[in-house]
Amino acid sequence: MTQPRYDVIAIGNAIVDVMAPCDDTLIDELGLNKGGMTLVDTERANELYDAMGPAREISGGSAANTLAGLSAMGAQCAFIGQVAKDQLGEVFAHDIHAVGIDFDTPARAGDPPTARCLIFVTPDAQRTMNTFLGASQFLPAAAIDEEAIGGARVLYLEGYLWDPEEPRAAMRRAIETARAAGREVAFTLSDAFVISRHGDDFRQLIDEGLIDILFANHVELAALTGEDDFEDGIAALRDKVPVLVVTRSEKGAVAVSGGERAEVAAEPTEVVDTTGAGDLFAAGFLYGHVNGEPLERSLRRGAIAAAEIISHYGARSEANLAALMAEKLG
């Protein structure tokens, strides 16, 4: 097998996050699903944007956030995702290139516009996300760079993007390409609502041995396995995926691989905004994984990265993650 060109290549939604603080009254007035993620159409997106206070625009998307964290730690990364030929598409492309990630997917002409996620952050640091998927739903299988995927240690897939038909077909093709090249496939379940729609697909991928690393939080674990008890959920999956990583918010995280199990506590920090916590946890863990680190140390990296991201607004790190890891891990 040739030396990999990339540590991680990811396929995900190319989204610009629009974030604004608000109080719980506005959440209720707008009928939002507090703390959750809801897909919205163009009309609803415009309505919510008009209701927002002063906002910040930050390039986002779950898998892209994970790559940004990985790149900040020193990993070589590439991203595959669809933007439109518009201002937000240019913002997204600029931002992802600026953090050292290769991104060569051609922009799409015409409507719909580039995706955006309208995020309302309440005083308790909960983020309520309302996502207009726009152009990201139209990632074609032709956009899959098979040479790049075959030249990456890990292909990382975002569950959110499984919903639209066209990118779902593209990701299936990417999985086939990675497996044929002998590379690992990592998958993040993203949200319980995605599992409610596509859980059968995900369970089939797992049963067929197509997922090497599975990321979930405790809610997603229960939704996927049907087991309300956390340990029963772990038991249902531990023999089906080579590496299972499950986060538990303030209770830390667990990883199992073969007969090995590791657990870490959450890193202490002041919580400002939980946006991107799971994305950056995955970044830390994957960095450790591709560098051959033990499960517990990889989990520690995840916990440190997640703690940094929730200490401020936005899902892109403000601290020097490489320096932070050196300080915390030695």
**Per-residue pLDDT tens over the stretch 38-55:** 989 989 998 998 999 998
d(CA 119, CA 311): 16
Q: What is the mean pLDDT of the chain?
A: 94
Q: What pLDDT is stored for residue 167 in this prediction?
A: 94
Q: What pLDDT is stored for residue 324 in this prediction?
A: 95
Nearest Cα residue to 116 out of 207, 49, 210, 35: 49
Domain 6-13+62-110+137-329 belongs to what architecture?
A: 3-Layer(aba) Sandwich (3.40)
Cis peptide before 4 (omega within 30 of 0): no
d(CA 287, CA 104): 23
Q: Is the pLDDT of residue 64 over 70?
A: yes
State mean pLDDT over 63-85: 97
What is the residue extent of each domain of the chain?
A: 6-13+62-110+137-329
Q: What pLDDT is stored for residue 163 in this prediction?
A: 85
State mean pLDDT over 245-251: 95
Sequence-separated (6 or more) residues with CB below 8 Å from residue 262: 254, 255, 256, 294, 295, 296, 299
Q: In Å, how far are 34, 38, 116, 128, 275 from 31, measured between CA atoms?
A: 9, 11, 19, 11, 20
Q: Is the CB of residue 135 less than 8 Å from the CB of residue 112?
A: yes
Q: What pLDDT is stored for residue 253 in this prediction?
A: 98
Q: What pLDDT is stored for residue 313 in this prediction?
A: 77
* CB-side neighbour CA atoms (13 Å) of 56: 13
d(CA 91, CA 95): 6
d(CA 261, CA 169): 34
Angle between helices 295-309 and 321-329 in degrees, nearest 10: 130
Q: Is the pLDDT of residue 314 over 80?
A: no
Each residue's pLDDT tens digit, 12-26: 999 998 889 999 999
Q: Is the pLDDT of residue 1 over 70?
A: no
State mean pLDDT over 292-314: 94
Q: Is the CB of residue 275 less than 8 Å from the CB of residue 19?
A: yes
Angle between helices 62-73 and 277-290 in degrees, nearest 10: 50
pLDDT-derived band at 179, boundaries 50, 70, 90: very high
pTM metric for this prediction: 0.90
Q: What pLDDT is stored for residue 208 in this prediction?
A: 97
> What count of other Cβ atoms lies within 10 Å of the Cβ of residue 268?
7
Residue position matching structure tokens 């927002």: 52
Residues, the chain, total?
330
Q: What pLDDT is stored for residue 79 in this prediction?
A: 98
Nearest Cα residue to 221 out of 186, 200, 248: 248
Q: What pLDDT is stored for residue 21 in this prediction?
A: 94
Each residue's pLDDT tens digit, 137-163: 999 999 999 999 999 999 999 999 998
d(CA 150, CA 178): 6
Q: Is the pLDDT of residue 105 over 80?
A: yes
Q: What pLDDT is stored for residue 126 in this prediction?
A: 87
